[in-house]
Structure formats: C-alpha cells, structure tokens
C-alpha cells in the first residue's frame, strides 16, 4: 500500500512539473520530450526507460531512425513496472516521404504501430517536404480519420511548404517540428506557424552539442545555478515551444528535465534570441 501511495505521489509531481501545449486537435502535448535520433539498440531502449523514470512523458522517434522497436520495448518495460500507463505518454513518430504516397504513408504508420506495440500514436509528422508530400499527407489524414493517430503534422516545413500543403490538406497540421536553438531561431517560420495555430517543436535544441559551452549561455546559467544546456532548453519553454533534447546518458537526461524550477528574465530571453552563430 505504501509503495502504491509513493508511486501515485511521484506521478502527480511529474504531471505538475511538465507544462503542456494544447494542440489544435484538442489534445495536450508535453512541452519537453526525449529525442532519439541517432540512438539505436539497447542504448536507446535504456534511454527511454531512464527518461520515463525521470519524469518525461513524451518520446520522439521516426520510421527512418530504425529504433521504434527498441523505443517501444523501453516504453512497455516501464508500463509493466507501473511507472506509467500508456495514456500518460505522448508518442511522436514520423513518416519518411521519399518515394512515398498516400498508400505508403498509411502502411508506414501501421508499421510504426506494430514496432512500437501500441494501438494508437499521439502524433505523426511528415519528416521532410520531399517528393509529393501533399499526397503523402493524405495517407496521414487517412490514419487520423481511422483514429490510428490523434494528431498529425509536419517537420522541416517553411512558409512556402506550408502554403502548398494547405491547398489540399483537409486536416490542419497540429505541429511543425523544425530545427531551433539559440543561434538558429527560425523566427519567420515560428511566427507563421503561430499565426496559423500550429504548435512548434524545436529539435536539436542544443545545436548538436554546440550550445553546452556557449559563453553567453554559461554566463546566464551561472545566475540561476544552471548549466548552459538547461538555459537553452528553458529558453524554448519560455517561448511556449516544445523541445526534444536527445541523450542516452542518464545524467544528462535528468539534467535536461530539470528546467521547470527557474525562469529567465525578459532581458535574458532577448539576449538569447539575438545570439548569432
């Protein structure tokens, strides 16, 4: 009984710590998730387990990452251990567009469902605006209408790509996942997505490691007793973007999650926004 109470209290704390973004589909998406790009096999399985233990409730993967099976195994290990329930978790994956079409997109989604061993996905994105991506998107819409997917969206799309897609799309994208970090804020795309009611996820939020020793971020971090990485991630949270840092090191997975106990000043946010490469 005591163990159950402790677990319930832990889950309540996790829920309270993780802010959510409400998508245009009505579903809520945790504002921080674990990225899994370039992570495979046992390391990614363990990283997912560690992240869920730490408190993450959002895992980001993709068909092309070739790690959905291991990601699924990590998820189900923690579900089996009572750490969380499937409905507590937000799973994002992506359809690879090269050579794809409406039929193939739906087939890829079925493949992802099987690999992840789940009955539905929270979010599926078209990975890049390649080939006839409008036709590929139709397959994602099919999955949405079949309730295999709760929300669908896009990744690496700019203003022009979005406009082209919206000419034929029946379901507005819920999310656009783009590269964002302090020296690459992609302000024009972000602004356009916000105008359209499309949430923004920033991938590579640490600039594939370049931000962790950035002197501006280090200096701001010292004022808050935080690392440069935590400052870079907090900057995205302050802007109401979703962020998906990637690591297979439990220490850094935990550190990346510890960004909800401080806030940046308006001046610090502007300083970070204005940083140059």
Q: Which of 65, 137, 203, 252 is catalytic?
A: 65
Q: Residues near 59 by Cβ (< 8 Å), separated by ≥ 6? A: 33, 34, 36, 48, 51, 52, 71, 75, 89, 90, 91, 92
- Cβ(208)–Cβ(178) under 8 Å? no
Q: Is 181 annotated as a binding residue?
A: no
Cα–Cα distance measured from residue 50 to residue 36, given in angstroms and rounded to the nearest whole number: 13
What tokens appear for 79 in the block? 């579900």
Name the β-bridge partners of 201.
Answer: 177, 242
- Cβ(92)–Cβ(104) under 8 Å? no
- Cβ(61)–Cβ(89) under 8 Å? no
Residues in the chain: 277
160 half-sphere exposure, CB direction, 13 A CA radius: 2
User: Environment class of residue 258 by beta-carbon count within 10 Å: exposed (0-12), middle (13-18) or buried (19+)?
Assistant: middle
- Cβ(39)–Cβ(49) under 8 Å? no
Query: Is 65 noted as a catalytic residue in this protein?
Result: yes
Name the β-bridge partners of 152.
Answer: 124
Q: Residues near 114 by Cβ (< 8 Å), separated by ≥ 6? A: none
Question: For residue 5, what are the CA distances in angstroms to 2, 11, 171, 192?
Answer: 5, 10, 42, 45
Which residue reads 């203003």 in tokens? Answer: 159
| Residues designated as active site | 65
Binding-site positions for substrate: 127
Binding-site positions: 127
């Amino acid at each position: 009984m005591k163990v159950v109470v402790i677990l319930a209290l832990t889950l309540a704390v996790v829920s309270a710590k993780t802010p959510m973004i409400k998508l245009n589909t009505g579903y809520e998406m945790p504002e921080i998730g674990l990225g899994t790009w370039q992570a495979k096999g046992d390391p990614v399985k363990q990283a997912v387990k560690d992240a869920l233990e730490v408190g993450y409730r959002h895992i980001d993967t993709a068909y092309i990452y070739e790690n959905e099976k291991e990601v699924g195994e990590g998820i189900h290990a923690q579900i089996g251990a009572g750490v969380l329930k499937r409905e507590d978790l937000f799973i994002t994956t992506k359809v690879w567009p090269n050579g794809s079409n409406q039929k193939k997109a739906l087939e890829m989604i079925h493949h992802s469902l099987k690999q992840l061993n789940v009955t539905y996905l929270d979010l599926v994105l078209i990975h890049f605006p390649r080939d006839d991506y409008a036709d590929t998107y139709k397959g994602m819409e099919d999955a949405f209408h079949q309730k295999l997917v709760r929300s669908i969206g896009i990744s690496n799309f700019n203003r022009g790509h979005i406009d082209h897609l919206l000419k034929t799309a029946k379901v507005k994208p819920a999310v656009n996942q783009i590269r964002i970090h302090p020296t690459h804020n992609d302000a024009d795309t972000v602004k356009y997505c916000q105008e359209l009611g499309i949430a923004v996820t920033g991938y590579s939020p640490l600039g594939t490691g370049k931000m962790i020793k950035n002197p501006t971020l280090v200096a701001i971090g010292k004022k808050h007793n935080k690392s440069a990485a935590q400052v870079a991630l907090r900057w995205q949270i302050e802007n109401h973007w979703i962020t998906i840092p990637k690591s297979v090191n439990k220490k850094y997975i935990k550190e990346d999650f510890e960004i909800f106990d401080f806030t940046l000043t308006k001046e610090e946010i502007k300083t970070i926004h204005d940083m140059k490469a």
